[in-house]
């Protein structure tokens, strides 16, 4: 298998008149973790369903290891571990029966690997699936995707429903799989999650790819929000003069400020340490600030052209 794990070209899918995704183009290299980021309804699940050959493109193509995702869908599936966004499992089976059932289609599964995954993700195999909580179903969906040890993992919001501890465990596991040479396509609407593991990200909004960037580039684009409360009004100039810091809002007569931090955190912290801080919230990086960065840059480019 010399071909790229994923190669997408002009990929377009409409649902009647509704745009699912429009003219997507990107590749995923062997051995990388590629984050696929976008808000709800952006087109992540549509893209993944096209990759898995579950729906047909309106135009364009998607290839996995050189195979056409629609025409060669059966062959594609044997190379991929897939966690669907809405894990619809066989309700009447127990977890163990479900894994046995799937193993029937995928000969050669190593029982030790299956046991390791069940333990690691702490899956209760004895209960009927319809009686499992959302998180426990999700964990079972992870085990079935990783069980046959495929070279490519396609994961549609795999951490949804998992508690924070298990979310972290999943990210650790993905890094280990990458170290074993696996390629991972990870969709998420959580920037801070993707930032922890991905090498590159594709950002999708309203069905269109806004950008493909390395994590370093992405981090340069985004701003994080910080709220700081003080015991008395402060001189804002001390904060506003830090490079990479913007004062977004001031309330309570200068005793509460909201800052946008794109750079300069160490300098900012030194300044704050000299001020009468009583409380501080540093929000996780969010997707909106990334979009803002890209739109501002886009406007700057188009503005320059118009001049
Ligand atoms: N079966 C369908 N029929 C009609 N429209 C659909 C269908 N599936 C998706 N869409 C539409 O396509 C667009 C992209 O949806 P998609 O589910 O791919 O987004 P998403 O990024 O996965 O969002 P979420 O995170 O909410 O699952 C949305 O406008 C959605 O309403």
Half-sphere exposure of 248 (CA within 13 A, CB side): 14
What is the CA(120)–ligand 1 centre distance, in A?
A: 32
287: its two tokens: 């997707």
- Atom 2 (ligand 1) nearest CA: 15
Please give the full DSSP string across the chain, using - where no structure is assigned: --S-SEEEEEEEEEETTEEEEEEEEEEE-TT-EEEEE--TTSSHHHHHHHHTTSS--SEEEEEETTEETTTTHHHHHHTEEEE-SS----TTSBHHHHHHHHHTTSTT--HHHHHHHHHHTT---SSBGGGS-HHHHHHHHHHHHHTT--SEEEEESTTTT--HHHHHHHHHHHHHHHHTT-EEEEEES-HHHHHHH-SEEEEEETTEEEEEEEHHHHHHH--EEEEEEESS---THHHHTSTTEEEEEEEGGGTEEEEEESS-HHHHHHHHHTS-EEEEEEPPP-HHHHHHHHHHHHHHHHHHHH-
- Atom 18 (ligand 1) nearest CA: 43
Phi, psi values for residue 193, rounded to 5°: -70, -50
Give the domains, in start order, of the chain with CATH numbers.
6-219 (3.40.50.300), 223-284 (3.30.70.250)
Ranking 50-54, 87-91, 112-116, 204-208 by mean pLDDT, the lowest is: 87-91
What is the CA(35)–ligand 1 centre distance, in A?
A: 18
Question: For residue 222, what pLDDT is reported?
Answer: 82
184-199: average pLDDT: 93
- Atom 4 (ligand 1) nearest CA: 15
Neighbours of 201 (CB within 10 A): 25
125-142: average pLDDT: 92
Phi, psi values for residue 156, rounded to 5°: -95, 105
What is the CA(46)–ligand 1 centre distance, in A?
A: 6
- Atom 12 (ligand 1) nearest CA: 20
- Atom 13 (ligand 1) nearest CA: 20
**CB of 206 shorter than 6 A to ligand 1:** no
**CB of 90 shorter than 6 A to ligand 1:** no
**CB of 41 shorter than 6 A to ligand 1:** yes
- pLDDT tens for 135-156 read 999 999 999 999 999 999 999 9
Compute the distance between CA of residue 192 and CA of residue 22 in angstroms, rounded to an integer.
26
- Atom 1 (ligand 1) nearest CA: 15
What is the CA(49)–ligand 1 centre distance, in A?
A: 11
User: What ipTM was assigned to the predicted interfaces of this complex?
Assistant: 0.95
Question: For residue 306, what pLDDT is reported?
Answer: 47
**CB of 189 shorter than 6 A to ligand 1:** yes
Question: For residue 297, what pLDDT is reported?
Answer: 63
């Amino acid at each position: 298998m010399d071909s790229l794990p994923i190669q997408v070209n002009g990929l377009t899918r409409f649902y009647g008149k509704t745009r699912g995704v429009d003219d997507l183009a990107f590749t995923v290299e062997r051995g990388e973790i590629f984050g696929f980021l976008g808000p709800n309804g952006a087109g992540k699940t549509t893209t993944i369903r096209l990759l898995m050959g579950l729906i047909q493109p309106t135009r364009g193509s998607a290839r996995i290891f050189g195979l056409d995702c629609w025409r060669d869908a059966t062959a594609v599936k044997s190379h991929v571990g897939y966690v669907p966004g809405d894990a619809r499992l066989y309700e009447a089976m127990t977890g163990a029966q479900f894994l046995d059932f799937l193993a029937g289609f995928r000969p050669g599964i190593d029982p030790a690997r299956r046991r390791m995954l069940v333990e690691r993700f702490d899956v209760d195999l004895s209960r009927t699936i319809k009686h499992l909580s959302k998180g426990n179903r999700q964990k079972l969906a992870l085990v079935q995707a990783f069980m046959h040890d495929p070279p490519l993992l396609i994961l549609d919001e795999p951490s949804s429903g998992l508690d924070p501890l298990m979310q972290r465990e999943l990210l650790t596991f993905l890094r280990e799989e990458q170290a074993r040479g696996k390629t991972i396509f990870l969709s998420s609407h959580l920037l801070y999650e993707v930032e922890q593991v991905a090498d590159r990200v594709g950002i999708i909004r309203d069905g269109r790819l806004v950008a493909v960037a390395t994590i370093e580039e992405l981090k340069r684009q985004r701003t994080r929000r910080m709220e700081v409360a003080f015991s008395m009004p402060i001189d804002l100039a001390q904060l506003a003069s830090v490079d990479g810091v913007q004062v977004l809002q001031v309330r309570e007569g200068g005793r509460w400020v909201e800052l946008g931090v794109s750079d300069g955190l160490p300098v900012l912290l030194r300044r704050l340490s000299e001020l009468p801080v009583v409380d501080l919230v540093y929000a996780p990086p969010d997707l909106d600030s990334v979009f803002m960065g890209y739109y501002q840059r886009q406007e700057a480019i188009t503005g320059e052209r118009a001049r």
